[in-house]
Amino acid sequence: MPDEIEVPHDQPLTQIHRASIDAAVRLLASSREGLNNNEALRRISEFGRNSIEVKQRFRALKSLFKQFRNFFTILLNASAVICFVADRVQPGESMNILGWALLGVSGLNAIFSFIQEFRAEKAMAALKKFLPALVKVRRDSIEAEVEAEFLVPGDIILISEGDKIPADARVLNCNDLLVSNAPLTGESKPISLTAEPSEQSLTDSHNVALAGCSVLRGSGEALVYATGLRTEFGKIAQLSQGIQRTASPLEKETGKMVRILTYIAVTMGVLFFLYGVFNGRPLWVNLVFMMGIIVANVPEGLLPTFTLSLAMGSLRMAKKNVLVKSLNAVEAMGAVHVICTDKTGTLTLNQLTITRIASGRSEDEVEVREERNHILKHALTASDLKQTAAGFVGDPLDIAIGKKISQDPSSSLAHWSEGIRKHFPFDVYQRSAAGIHAADGQTCFSVKGAWESIRPKLAAIDGRPNVPLDAALADADKVVKQLASQGLRVIAVAHCTIEQFDPARKRDEYATGLTLAGFLGIEDPLRPEVPPAVQKCHDAGLGIILITGDHPDTALAIARKAGIVSHSADNVVVTGDQLKELRQQQLMDRLEEGVSIFARTTPEQKMKIVSALQALGKVTAMTGDGVNDAPALKTADVGIAMGKEGTDVARESAQIILLDDNFASIVAGIEEGRTIFNNIKKFTNYVLVSNGPEILPYIMYILFPIPLALTVIQILSIDLGTDIIPSMALGQEPPEPDTMKRKPRERTEGLLTFRLMAHSYLFLGLLEAIWSMSLFFYVLVSHGWHYGNVMSSTDGVYRSATGIALSTILLMQIGNLLGRRYRKGTGLNLGIFRNKLMFLGIIIQVVFSWAVLYFPPLQVVLQTGPVDLHVYLLAWLGVPLIFGFDLLRKQFLSQKV
Amino acid sequence: MLDLAYDASLGADWVSRYGIRLAANSEDKTLRLVHVLDGLLTTDILNNKINAIEKECNSNKIKLQTEILPMRKNVVSTLQTFFSRNSSEFILCGTRMLNSARGYLFGTVSERLLENRALRVLAIRVFQPGNSGLVSDMLMPVSERFTDQSNGLFFLEKFSPQLKSLHLLHISKINTLWFRYLSQNRAEKLKLAAHEYLKEVQRVIENHLSLQATHCDSRALLSDDTAKEIIIQSNKLKSDIVLLGTSTRSLPYRFFYGNLLEQILRQSACDIALYNKGH
């Protein structure tokens, strides 16, 4: 029973990784025999199951409810209710049909958004794959397999090669235990675990096994100290699930636009309703009127068109190797101010290449073949390389060494690997890997790794027998510095002769009195398409921030080669240690000063950088590939995961997946995103123009004793009918030539600006309204109508008049459509047929403008009637009229600029 | 001297480690363990447990005083009577360890002690027993009422000798209905005001405490879900503990918005320390 444990209390209170084994066991009130089953059950009820899933009650319901909270949906639903009331008050006016139509539009919008948002949480499924289902545990001195979910703090688990670690645990004893912490730290090098107390931080200490990681070799037993969401892995899971992506710029813009349009619609509707009431009009007439003015003001088709436009944009992006998971990310890419990018694989090819073999004397390439081979053979001894039919298999550095050797098939090194007896994998604390080679009666120990870790163990340097060691080391230091300043990752290679290979001896026992063979200069070549892409970013006013775990000199060198910073740039690098000490405000200051490289950083620090950039008001895109990148990918405005090298967890957490892991594809995606925003602006402008001729008849109807020129059904036929295809066509327009020459738009720059609204409502909208109303009155007057005459809605003349008003609006929308294509010129020279959807849209407008007047079934539905041909031809005059006036405006503005 | 309200559960053992560390920062380096005999434990088990705590105290050079009280009306009233007659710097207790349907705090002795404005109380929910009460990184959400007289400052001082980093967090709560429509300009203004407020809080803290060895940072956020934001920030910052003030909310508020403390206690992945704002 844990209650009866009696262990010596000889240590001050300390954390579990710093404590001795006995103290650690005592901290968890456990024993080496394990908990008993009753205690384990009790702890399950106290701490819950070892599960990383965050249960959210009523998630689907909440999500669905949220869709009905936006202004647009509330407005449509409220309007529908008014329609049903109006139908009850005055039946026979088909107001109930309108009510159902409005409910339908609102329901479709809400369901569409709900489906978008409530996708199955795939990131969680991907995370779960890292945890085992069963685990071997010791309870009451009996070892048995239990479901990993039932582990509790204080349990003793037994782990061995191939196991996944189920919970965070303190190692109690181990036998050559080697684990991969890659899912958590992103560090691909395996780590040897020990049971000794550690002075490092909890997660960095080498006596803890972390949940989600895997055992590569050896075996051991460990004391569980954290389960479920309390594990480091659980925290990542919770962050990944808990962080709600901030609304994309487009979501905010559309929210704002809907709010403004709703205010306008409701205010106008209510004001004129009251006006009608005070003027003694019947209540139902006022209700119908209010409905009309609200329906006329709300562009019902705009939000579905947004979605369609984004969907088509995502297809175009996919052709550029940018796979979009969330539609809002399509436009968010265009709003990006800063790209935070990885180095390896994104800017570089992720193909390590040895571009320099240097001695300890000089940074120059070693020319003597024997000396080169001498360095390479010791590097090969310290490598774990396998040759298959497909090529070399192993660590990228080891592969680079293998490739370098294979470039010279006649070399004496071809069969060297046959003599390798033992490999010591890379040790993250010693920052080196080693091996033992035995052949022809000679056995040698070779080591390769960071210069700082090998230097203290050196007793000599090859080729410098007569130089004092201190002086030779100082020269070697200079060589290392020179190579690093050239952007090369420097690997030192050393060796010593040993008497005999003894498999029982530990690595440290060999690694003394080493002789430096030389250095390997490693480079991961820059992707050739990166410098032009970076230049494009600079032209487009985009900031690029390089975040890497590499040495600052290496990071700076690659940033210079890529053009991220100029060759004279100074004070642009911040290391992970410096970053740790910076307050958010200080980091924001450094970012504003131009810091654009973060070196020796951990993946966790990405979130700090993103938060600081967002606090500066920057829309940030962040790349990532590891499990521990998932929270940062969700925090960023646009999370970009790597399709080739990334983990499933990163891919599921991101909005965008780069299929080729290439930086240039991000830039292509941004260009597409900007184009989409421009196009959205164009079709918003287009759609709002028709609001003018839809609103004016209602205002005139309430103010003057004249018939209503446009019915609610006719308005809906424009907003939800003929305007949709032309809007989609504008959403497909290609990028304008200066798209990537303009600075990114500010977060505060709205989609619905005053200028756009004035242009839509007060200029083009008014033109359409005047011309359509003129023809409406022309038909009425030519058939004997006098000012003040009341007309029945079934009157043939009235039907012909409303028909021509509708037809004129439809035709004038063609002129409006052509004028929206290009901000400056006519755009006619670029051809209508190049955009097939636009051509189709125009055909629909033309056919519909004819059909509303002359096609009987449509006449019945829309309550319209025919007009004389010359009147219809007059309606066609509206096309050049609106196009011409708008062209004059463009020319006037361009002259002014 | 500080008091430890000890019920001899496993959770209370873990809270006692906080007691030992906090007692090390008190003048007389004394921890007074107060246990009410409620009949749930045998004397042997209780003595074993107290002996274990005493040994830990000894190895950390802390003097342990033990008070075993016979139960009067109930545990709460026994404790309250004792604490009102025998003053100390503050009372340390633990929340419920079991995530029952009633939550972690609701209906517990700790909740009743926290509600008693005459007592200065710190209730801790231990999530990371492996840390054994060591607090290096602290997240401290601050409300609009933080003053140099607040208990928050008092408890921050108690933790400060071990702190390596302190993150102050101010969350401006925005109604859910308006949050998504908040304009960029309005958001910037609110954040600016929050930053100014945090600067003032930081100034108050620096005037009263010596935090030279502590990395201090602050962040201001706008959110429609305070509890969730605190949980996310504590995870992001890898905080060891969240130091949080409690306040009494009305029933309608709890009905519509839920109990923020319970949400934080239920979902956080680090230790939570709750202090009452009275005294």
Q: Give the tokens for residue B163.
A: 């702190």
CA nearest neighbour of B240 among B125, B157, B121, B99: B125
Q: What is the predicted pLDDT for the residue at A135?
A: 92
Q: Give me the interface pTM, i.e. the ipTM.
A: 0.82
Integer Cα distance of B3 and A883 in angstroms: 84
Distance CA B27, CA A115 (A): 61
d(CA A397, CA A352): 6
Give the whole-angstrom CA distance, residue A751 versus residue A257.
7
To test the contact with chain B by mutation, choose from A5, A6, A7, A9 the residue with the greatest count of B C-beta atoms within 10 A, namely A9
A10: phi then psi, degrees, rounded to nearest 5: -100, 0
Whole-structure pTM value: 0.73
Q: Mind giving me the DSSP string for A147-208?
A: EGGG--TT-EEEEETTPBP-SEEEEEEEEEEEEE-HHHH---S-EE--SS---S-TTT-TTE
Q: Are A316 and A733 in contact (CB under 8 A)?
A: no
Helix runs in A718-764, H state only: 724-730, 754-757
Question: What pLDDT does residue A2 have?
Answer: 42
Kindly report the nearest CA distance between residue A193 and chain B, in angstroms: 18
Query: What pLDDT digit, counting tens, does each position of A681-726 carry?
Result: 898 899 999 989 988 998 888 888 899 898 877 887 888 788 888 9
Give residue A9's pLDDT: 44
Q: Assess contact for B180 and B132: CB atoms under 8 A.
A: no
B129, B217, B267 ranked by CB distance to A584: nearest: B217
Total beta-carbon pairs less than 8 A apart between chain A and chain B = 119
How far, in Å, CA of A269 to CA of A806, rounded?
Answer: 22
List Cβ neighbours of A873 (8 Å cut-off, separation of 6 or more). none
In this structure, the number of other CB atoms found within 10 A of the CB of residue A512 comes to 11
Residue B250 has pLDDT above 60, yes or no: no
Report the pLDDT value the prediction gives residue A830, as an integer from 0 to 100: 64
Question: How far apart (Å, rounded) are the C-alpha atoms in residues B205 and A1?
Answer: 46
The C-alpha atoms of residue A231 and residue A52 are separated, in whole angstroms, by 9
Contact yes or no for A13 and B55 at CB 8 A:
no
Chain A residues with beta carbon closer than 8 angstroms to that of B219: 584, 611, 615
What number of H helices and E strands is found in chain A?
A: 35, 24
Report pLDDT for A332. Answer: 83
Structure letter (DSSP) for residue A522: E
* Predicted pLDDT at A746: 80
User: What contacts B228, CB < 8 A, 6 or more positions away?
Assistant: A242, B263, B267
A110 vs chain B: nearest CA distance in angstroms? 16
Which distant-in-sequence residues (6+ apart) come within 8 Å of A149 by Cβ?
A49, A50, A51
Chain A's closest residue to B11, CA to CA, is: A46
User: Smallest Cα–Cα separation from A119: which of A330, A326, A328, A322?
Assistant: A326
Band (pLDDT 50/70/90 cuts) for residue B278 is low
Neighbours of A703 (CB within 10 A): 11
Higher pLDDT, B176 or A464: A464
Q: In the structure encoding, which two tokens stand for residue A517, read together?
A: 């063979």
Task: Answer whether residue B181 shows pLDDT above 80.
Answer: no
Where chain A has pLDDT below 50, the residues are 1-10, 120
In the β-sheet with B63-70, what is the strand arrangement from edge to edge? B63-70, B30-37, B2-5, B91-94, B121-125, B271-276, B241-246, B137-141, B165-173, B215-223
| Residue A6, token pair as written in the block | 């009696």
Both tokens of A549, joined, read 């775990």
Extended beta strands in A291-331, E state: 322-324
- Minimum Cα–Cα distance from B131: chain A residue: A15
pLDDT of A1: 37
Are B184 and A15 in contact (CB < 8 Å)? no
Residue-wise pLDDT for B57-108, tens only, equals 998 899 999 999 998 888 999 999 999 998 889 999 998 876 666 678 888 8
Chain A residue whose CA is closest to B195: A585
Candidates A10, A235, A255; nearest CB to B59 = A10
Predicted confidence (pLDDT) per residue in A103-146, tens digit: 887 787 777 667 655 554 556 667 777 888 899 999 999 999 99
The answer to whether A29 contacts B10, with C-beta atoms less than 8 Å apart, is yes
